[in-house]
């Protein structure tokens, strides 16, 4: 799954909690002190007309803070004193909230008065794997209602894993006359009817990106709803919309959008239609090809010159799509390969023989996504050519645990040897070795993200039969910039002791089917001071391990544990001892007559919140 690059959470809720009255700062001497007796009348007059020193400082500070863009720096500024806290709020125009239940919309609008951009996340990431029950929550409705009143000048909304309705989108479109950017990532609840309203009402719209969201077909020709005349569109992505579109209207929209740089179409756009769009918009820098399969050509008709259309797009650097591609047309992209910095084949069942003629020309590729159908041979070709590669993701074509995966440690090690500048990797495979992980850690020490999913539970080093402890230990020892880690395979508590000892910068840790005992969890919670997000499933961690992190939970965004060995009583004790931390449990059967089953917690989701438990919890969620 595409992941948002907003990993550096600014922890807005922590700074919203600060009461300016409690900030300790020495005040200047009062003008009513005895020193006032030595001031001449003339000087007194000038003193009365002079601005307060605090106001002068705030005016200067406000001008300075307008140039401060780093989230971490702004957070630090807001904690200095009450004056800085106030000025920082006045100059903050962008707000990022990593958990929509960490604070209320009212607290947001009370703290920040000039927000123009809002980034809001809802469900935790494990919702992508169907581990979150339907209708759990993360409603956008209260947020759009609050911001509509407080921020009529709002220009940008970016939502991830939120439940958004057509009514929400209608209110957004009607409330913000200068609205410019809407991005919905992994969202649900809305359809083409809501998108049509946004397209029609937001006359200054520059970005409309629908990414991996569930969009229902409202049988509305939403493309035709964009206003006539020249548009300001820079980015339009609708590859997740699984319904046909009015191509004539799309073509007209592209023609009327001279600033369009990014266009990602869905599978209902054929290769012939893509050719027409490219001819109309040679200025594109990012293109999602849709199906990449041509329509049936009538006898006697000549096919368009697809390669010429790609050759004319001299600014094209990002290429994706290929959802239903026809292999013999793949060489048509060859003219742009030398300029590409990002190539996404994650929907295309491409063989090594198809990949190699393409990838040998992609010397500037920095981001490459593909299915494991490219095999170890394809990865070796990538390693031989893509020396500038920074991010690699390899997804499984067949996600079943017992499938025979076509990639292994061979392709993995080839990447480590050929792509020494690698910073991020997500790798699904069926077998791996400690030696390959050690080689990766030594060859690619700049890794900040390392996610290895060995499909199949508790699989050891397939050569030696030993646990994968030493391989993951090498990763955390040698990759000193690591901030995100996902572990898998046969792992004992020793692997987690390495993580606790060396993973001092890790902010996100994902664990599945790993560990021996609660000590593994304790190593992590006591040893990783930067930890923000901890995701655990199907591991032998219980109440003792949970309590070992009592000192950490206030500083973490969330903890997720499913199919572990937690009890309701243990979770209740944690909830009792930690105020401002919400403990949700769900998935267990309260009506079961068996005492053990009734006390067993299937899923724990724990997060900090400044405003206490949410009010919209469904019946299957118990807040302890």
| Residue 478, helix vs strand vs coil | helix
Tell how far CA 190 is from the center of its chain.
20
* Interval 333-350 mean pLDDT: 97
Query: What span, in angstroms and rounded, lies between the C-alpha atoms of 561 and 604?
Result: 5
| The pLDDT of residue 43 | 40
* Interval 441-457 mean pLDDT: 96
- 72-77 long-range contacts (CB < 8 A, ≥24 apart) are 72/8, 72/10, 74/10, 75/10, 75/11, 75/14, 75/15
In degrees, rounded to 5, the angle at the alpha carbon of residue 258 between the alpha carbons of residues 257 and 262 is 75
- Mark residue 210 as left, alpha or beta (left: phi above 0; alpha: psi -120 to 50; beta: remaining): beta
| The pLDDT of residue 297 | 60
Tokens of 423: 């910073």
| CA distances in angstroms from 316 to 288, 347, 479, listed in the order given | 11, 20, 33
552-567: pLDDT as tens digits: 999 999 999 999 999 9
| 133 CB neighbour count, 10 Å cutoff | 14
* Phi, psi (degrees; rounded to nearest 5) at 205: -60, 130
* Interval 108-119 mean pLDDT: 96
| 591 CB neighbour count, 10 Å cutoff | 6
Is pLDDT above 50 for 78? yes
For a pLDDT cut of 90, what percent of the chain falls above it? 78
For 277-292, give one letter per residue: b (16+ CB within 10 A) or e: bbbbbeebbbbbbbbb
**What does pTM read for this prediction?**
0.89
Dihedral over Cα of 480, 486, 487, 488: its sign: negative
| The pLDDT of residue 470 | 98
| The pLDDT of residue 173 | 98
Q: Which of 286-300, 394-408, 472-486 has the highest mean pLDDT?
A: 472-486
Q: Rg of the chain over CA atoms, in angstroms?
A: 27
Residue 82: beta bridge partners?
Answer: none
Query: What span, in angstroms and rounded, lies between the C-alpha atoms of 440 and 447?
Result: 9
End-to-end CA distance of the chain: 32
User: Minimal CA–CA distance to 555: which of 125, 73, 102, 68?
Assistant: 102
In degrees, rounded to 5, the angle at the alpha carbon of residue 493 between the alpha carbons of residues 488 and 497 is 100
| Residue 471, helix vs strand vs coil | helix
Length of the chain: 624
Is pLDDT above 90 for 262? yes
Is pLDDT above 90 for 96? yes
Is pLDDT above 70 for 44? no
Is pLDDT above 70 for 42? no
Confidence of residue 54 (pLDDT cuts 50, 70, 90): low
For a pLDDT cut of 70, what percent of the chain falls above it? 89
Confidence of residue 41 (pLDDT cuts 50, 70, 90): very low
Kind of pairing, strands 558-562 and 603-608? antiparallel
List, in sequence order, the alpha helices (H) in 37-79. 41-49, 53-65, 71-78
Tell how far CA 353 is from the center of its chain.
33
| The pLDDT of residue 175 | 97
| The pLDDT of residue 491 | 98
Give the torsion through C-alpha atoms of 98, 559, 369, 504, to 10 deg.
Answer: 90
Is pLDDT above 80 for 398? yes
More confident site: 32 or 123: 123
- The average confidence (pLDDT) of the chain is 89
- Spell out where 328-455 has E strands: 342-345, 367-371, 391-395, 424-429, 449-454
More confident site: 31 or 439: 439
What kind and span of H or E run contains 208?
strand 207-211
Kind of pairing, strands 207-211 and 262-265? unpaired
* Interval 341-351 mean pLDDT: 96
Dihedral over Cα of 566, 567, 573, 578: its sign: positive
| Residue 451, helix vs strand vs coil | strand
Tokens of 144: 């759009």
Residue 561: beta bridge partners?
Answer: 536, 604
Residues whose CB is less than 8 angstroms from the CB of residue 582 and which lie 6 or more positions away in sequence, other chains included:
101, 575, 606, 607, 608, 609, 612, 613, 614, 623
| The pLDDT of residue 23 | 37
| Residue 212, helix vs strand vs coil | coil
What kind and span of H or E run contains 119?
strand 117-121
* Interval 52-76 mean pLDDT: 78
Q: What angle, 0 to 180 degrees and rounded to 10, lies between the N-to-C axes of helices 71-78 and 82-90?
A: 140
Is pLDDT above 50 for 188? yes
Is pLDDT above 80 for 382? yes
Query: What span, in angstroms and rounded, lies between the C-alpha atoms of 91 and 108?
Result: 14
- Mark residue 515 as left, alpha or beta (left: phi above 0; alpha: psi -120 to 50; beta: remaining): left
| The pLDDT of residue 403 | 80
| The pLDDT of residue 26 | 32
Tokens of 559: 């903890």
| CA distances in angstroms from 401 to 421, 429, 472, listed in the order given | 31, 10, 21
In degrees, rounded to 5, the angle at the alpha carbon of residue 301 between the alpha carbons of residues 296 and 304 is 80
Kind of pairing, strands 581-586 and 621-623? antiparallel
Is pLDDT above 70 for 542? yes
285-330: pLDDT as tens digits: 999 998 899 887 655 678 899 999 999 999 999 999 999 889 999 9
* Number of alpha carbons in the 13 Å side-chain half-sphere of residue 581: 24
489-532: pLDDT as tens digits: 999 999 999 999 999 999 999 999 999 999 999 999 999 999 99
* Interval 229-255 mean pLDDT: 96
Query: What span, in angstroms and rounded, lies between the C-alpha atoms of 456 and 570?
Result: 30
User: Minimal CA–CA distance to 161: which of 127, 133, 187?
Assistant: 187
More confident site: 237 or 18: 237
588-598: pLDDT as tens digits: 544 455 555 67
- Spell out where 167-225 has E strands: 181-185, 207-211
| The pLDDT of residue 590 | 47
| The pLDDT of residue 298 | 56
């Amino acid at each position: 799954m595409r992941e948002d690059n907003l990993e550096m959470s600014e922890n807005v809720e922590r700074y919203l909690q600060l009461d300016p009255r409690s900030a300790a700062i020495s005040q200047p001497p009062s003008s009513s002190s005895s020193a006032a007796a030595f001031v001449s009348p003339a000087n007194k007059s000038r003193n009365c007309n002079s601005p307060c020193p605090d106001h002068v400082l705030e005016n200067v500070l406000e001008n300075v803070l307008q140039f401060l863009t780093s989230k971490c720096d702004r957070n630090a500024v807001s904690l200095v004193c009450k004056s800085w806290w106030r000025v920082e709020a006045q100059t903050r125009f962008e707000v990022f909230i990593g958990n929509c239940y960490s604070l209320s919309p009212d607290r947001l609008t009370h703290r920040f008065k000039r927000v123009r951009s809002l980034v809001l996340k809802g469900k935790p990431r494990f919702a992508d794997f169907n581990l979150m029950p339907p209708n759990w929550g993360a409603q956008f409705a209260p947020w759009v209602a609050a911001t509509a009143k407080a921020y009529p000048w709002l220009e940008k909304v970016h939502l991830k894993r939120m439940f958004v309705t057509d009514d929400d989108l209608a209110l957004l479109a009607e409330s913000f006359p200068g609205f410019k950017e809407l991005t919905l990532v992994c969202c649900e609840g809305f359809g083409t009817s809501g998108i049509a309203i946004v397209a029609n009402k937001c006359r200054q719209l520059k970005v409309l990106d629908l990414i991996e969201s569930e969009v229902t077909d409202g049988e509305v020709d939403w493309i035709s709803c964009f206003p006539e005349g020249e548009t300001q569109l820079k980015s339009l992505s609708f590859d997740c919309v699984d319904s046909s579109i009015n191509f004539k209207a799309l073509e007209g929209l592209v023609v009327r959008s001279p600033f369009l740089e990014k266009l990602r179409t869905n599978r209902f756009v054929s290769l012939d239609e893509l050719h027409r769009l490219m001819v109309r918009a040679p200025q594109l820098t990012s293109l999602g090809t849709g199906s990449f399969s041509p329509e049936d050509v009538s006898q006697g008709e000549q096919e368009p010159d697809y390669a010429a259309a790609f050759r004319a797009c001299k600014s094209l650097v990002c290429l994706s799509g290929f959802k239903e591609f026809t292999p013999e047309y793949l060489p048509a992209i060859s003219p742009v390969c030398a300029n590409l910095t990002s190539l996404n084949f994650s929907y295309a069942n491409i063989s090594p023989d198809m990949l190699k003629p393409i990838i040998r020309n992609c010397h500037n590729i920095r981001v490459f996504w593909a299915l494991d159908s490219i095999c170890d041979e394809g990865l070796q070709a990538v390693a031989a050519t893509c020396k500038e590669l920074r991010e690699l993701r390899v997804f499984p074509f067949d996600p079943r645990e017992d499938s025979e995966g076509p990639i292994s440690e061979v392709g993995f090690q080839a990447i480590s040897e050929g792509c020494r500048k690698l910073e991020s990797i997500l790798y699904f495979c069926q077998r791996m070795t400690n030696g390959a992980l050690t080689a990766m850690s030594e060859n690619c020490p700049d890794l900040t993200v390392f996610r290895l999913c060995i499909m199949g539970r508790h699989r050891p080093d397939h050569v030696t039969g030993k646990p994968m402890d030493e391989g993951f230990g090498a990763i955390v020892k040698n990759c000193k910039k690591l901030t995100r880690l996902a572990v898998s395979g046969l792992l004992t508590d020793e692997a987690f002791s390495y993580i606790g000892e060396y993973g001092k910068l890790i902010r996100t840790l994902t664990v599945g089917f790993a560990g021996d005992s609660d000590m593994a969890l304790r190593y992590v919670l006591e040893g990783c001071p930067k930890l923000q997000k901890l995701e655990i499933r199907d591991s032998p961690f219980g109440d003792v391990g949970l309590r070992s992190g009592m000192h950490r939970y206030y500083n973490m965004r969330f903890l997720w544990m499913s199919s572990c060995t937690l009890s309701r009583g243990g979770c209740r004790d944690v909830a009792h001892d930690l105020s401002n931390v919400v403990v949700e449990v769900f998935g267990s059967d309260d009506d079961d007559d068996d005492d053990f089953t009734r006390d067993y917690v299937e899923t724990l989701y724990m997060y900090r919140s400044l405003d206490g438990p949410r009010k919209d919890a469904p019946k299957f969620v118990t807040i302890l």
